[in-house]
Structure 1
Amino acid sequence: MASILGKHSRPDSDDRADSDDRGDRAGAADHAPEHSSPSAAGRAWAARGRLPLVACAWVAAYGALRVYWASGHRPDDLSPVGTDLVAFTGWAAAALCGATAVVLAALAVPRAATLGPLPRRALSAAAWTAALCLVASGALLLLDVIGAVLPGLGVRFYPLGALSRAACVTGGILTGLSARAHARRVRPGCVRCGRRPGAAGPLTHTPAWAFAAAYLAVAGCLTRVAAQAAVGFGRSPLSGGPSAVLFEAGFLLGGCLLPPALVHSFGRTWPRFVPALRGRRVPRRLVLWPGTAISGGLTVYFGLMLLQMIWERLHGRNPFPAEGGLDLPESFFWVAVPSYLLWGAGMAVAAHAYARRTRVPCPSCAPTPEPAADFGSYGDLGADRDEGSGRGRQRHPERHPARRRGTRRRAR
């Protein structure tokens, strides 16, 4: 009869239950995160298992080259100091690569994930130590980058030595990534990102220690400039010309603009004085990658230089004798080198805070919002609006005794 009158018949309880069940399944399918699928987690797990193998092959190949060079076939003129590496040279570099390859092979064994706590920590510590030694051995790569980007600056570029140092540093980075991947495989946590239960998530605001570190980096840069001003800018070993201008501009940007950008809002959102980009988000890599690269290079290079200076002075020798056109007082280096180190260390801390501040939540382990309620009638929708907004309360007078009494008076 209802269909003849043109009205919709009300479904019975079974039909409504089936409809609700189909709607729930459809909504769950629509809102299911694609990145949290088992296949994505499996790919992440497999990639962590393959990374030690890739790193082991890389380090083993580079170690074979080190053995060949150490046996009397090393080419000359690889760096300003003669050898291509520092800290570990000759057979020591070959031994370092061999030990690193053994550690990486142990990480690649599937049974490494079943080791006890003490052997697992020892293996992880060995991997991180080897990674640090490899990266430190290629510390002269910082000069190679400067010499390649600014060829007229007066910093000589050594192509073969630069390739060797790049391979050494790459091996160190791969070893560190393998150690981190192994730690994520063996500890409880998210299969995709490796985040442990209860671990700190993205920072909601930039902490005070990050501001302090950023401005310590700025202070280190300005102290370095002040030290050069004290001895005279004309006594710099760098050449003049356009390359020197670009170097000085990059020097000031990297020391006075990049550290504050890591902690202030203009490093995350383009400020208003940028015409075409104002209000938009700054790409995370645009700030984080230069901050990480510059801080890492400064910390490793000048950290080793400071240790060498201390060693030479403890043995009664001048760390920087007047030779090769470098005729500066020793006190200049005791100010300039620690300033560089302070610059790099401060910016590394600020970059760490920026990475946590701008971290994208993992779609697999991040808390998901609660699904919206399934309203079956306009009355339920009005009830929800009644709880959430004032306008909803005005549209449903039956829930308000005062309004209901006024309605009854008007009816009388």
Structure 2
Amino acid sequence: MVGAAPGSAHPHSGGTRPAARTRWAWAPWAALCWALGYGALRIRWAVLGPPGFGVIGTDLIGFTGWGGVALCGAAAAVALAQAAGRWHRAVEVAGWLVAALLVMACPLLLIDVVGLLLPGLGLPLDPGAFASRGACLAGAVAVAAGTRGYRSRRPGGCARCGRTGAAVRGERLPAWAWWAAYAAVAGCAARVAVQWAVGFADAPLRAGAALAVFDAGFALAGSVLPLAVVHSWGWALPSWLPLLAGRRVPHRLVLVPAFAVAGALTAYFGAGTVQLAVETATGTWTESEGLPLAFYWITMPAYLVWGLGLGAAALARHRLSRPPCPACGR
């Protein structure tokens, strides 16, 4: 059962609106500069042809050629609307949509990061493609930051935090957060189970110390991390730990990796699931590594459930543990 207690708005919240808005004033202009610069590069590649981009052969997914140019144009239009106009729901929705599409366009950045952290795995890494994907993600951050600031202009919204309505503070995590955390664990378990069924002999990663580190991180991110988000031992260390018993676990220690893993999994395997669906529907799917189509229809959604579940649980914990806004008390 979730308890809640209404709060009251800060008596000086109205006076902080102009000053608080300056906190995000830079973001739309940063997004516009990014869109013009990166967009110019995408135009050049669309006209003259892109670089080879190594083994994979592409930097972005779904937005290559003029599609990448169009995405940059959409980011520029959103940034200008946010910088110049009053709040409109369509502009805010467009901002979140463009930011999400930019993230979905660079899912291969996950492979790049893993390859950089664990070079012994033998994952392909092209510097030009890595830089382009990183730039695309930077654009997503800029657009999201601009939209975050833009939503503070909503009628009745706090200029500092953008929240509306009465201040409501729950006493414990909602039931759906627990379901989400255990769904993440189930998604990871399903991924391991299907790999167990087909065998590990043809796994694409090189064996060695790097693979052992990767497997350990994989297991922790799919079991301990989701459960730490919701269980009491993820908030305060259990009593059986010597010297550390009862010590509070910093929320960022759990939430930063939770959001990072959730975002990476959701972006990469969300894009992969969409691509798989298109190829299945159009009959263009080709067998890879000797594995059947059914294998991918289990693993891709399993990863996606893992990412979405972990992200939802982390969001619930963040909303419960965040301090009240100093401007409005929400």
Asked if these proteins are the same fold (TM beyond 0.5), I'd say yes
What are the ranges of 5 or more consecutive residues in structure 2 without an aligned counterpart?
1-11
Q: CA deviation at 1:40?
A: 7.0
Alignment deviations for residues 130-154 of structure 1 (CA, whole Å, 9 cap, x no partner):
1121111111111111111111112
* Distance in 1 between residues matched to 2:93 and 2:278, nearest whole Å: 26
Q: What letter is aligned with 2:89?
A: R
Q: Measured at CA, do residues 363 and 147 of structure 1 come closer, stay the same or move farther in structure 2, by a change above 3 Å?
A: same
Alignment deviations for residues 268-288 of structure 1 (CA, whole Å, 9 cap, x no partner):
222234444332221221111
Alignment deviations for residues 100-159 of structure 1 (CA, whole Å, 9 cap, x no partner):
1122012111xx12x6xxxx1222222222112111111111111111111111211222
What are the ranges of 5 or more consecutive residues in structure 1 without an aligned counterpart?
1-35, 368-412
Match in the other structure for 2:78: 103
Contact 1:55/1:175, CA 8 A, preserved across alignment: yes
The correspondence for 1:299, drawn from 259, 266, 277, is 266
The correspondence for 2:229, drawn from 242, 246, 262, is 262
Residue 172 of structure 2 is aligned to residue 205 of structure 1: yes
Contact 2:21/2:152, CA 8 A, preserved across alignment: no
Q: CA deviation at 1:38?
A: 9.2
- Is the partner of 1:357 in helix, strand or coil? helix
- Is the partner of 2:201 in helix, strand or coil? helix
Alignment deviations for residues 339-361 of structure 1 (CA, whole Å, 9 cap, x no partner):
11111111111111111121111
* Distance in 1 between residues matched to 2:131 and 2:243, nearest whole Å: 40
* Distance in 1 between residues matched to 2:101 and 2:83, nearest whole Å: 20
Match in the other structure for 2:304: 341
Residue 292 of structure 2 is aligned to residue 329 of structure 1: yes
The alignment's C-alpha RMSD in Å is 2.1
Paired residues in the alignment total 319
Contact 1:153/1:238, CA 8 A, preserved across alignment: yes
Which structure is richer in relative contact order (CA contacts within 8 A, separation 6 or more)? Answer: 2
- TM-score normalised to the size of structure 2? 0.90
* Distance in 2 between residues matched to 1:90 and 1:199, nearest whole Å: 47
Give the percent of matched residue pairs that are identical in Structure 1 and Structure 2.
44
The correspondence for 1:140, drawn from 108, 120, 131, is 108
Match in the other structure for 2:158: 190
Q: What letter is aligned with 2:253?
A: L
Spell out the pairing of 1:110-129 with structure 2 (5 A cutoff): 112-113=85-86, 120-129=88-97
Contact 2:109/2:133, CA 8 A, preserved across alignment: yes
Q: What letter is aligned with 1:45?
A: R
* Distance in 1 between residues matched to 2:35 and 2:220, nearest whole Å: 35
- Bigger Rg, structure 1 or 2: 1
The correspondence for 1:222, drawn from 189, 207, 212, is 189
* Distance in 2 between residues matched to 1:123 and 1:354, nearest whole Å: 28
Q: What letter is aligned with 2:318?
A: A
- TM-score normalised to the size of structure 1? 0.73
Match in the other structure for 1:290: 257
Q: What letter is aligned with 2:301?
A: P
Alignment deviations for residues 294-345 of structure 1 (CA, whole Å, 9 cap, x no partner):
111111211221121121122223x3424xxx22232221211111111111
Q: CA deviation at 1:167?
A: 1.1
The correspondence for 1:61, drawn from 4, 15, 37, is 37
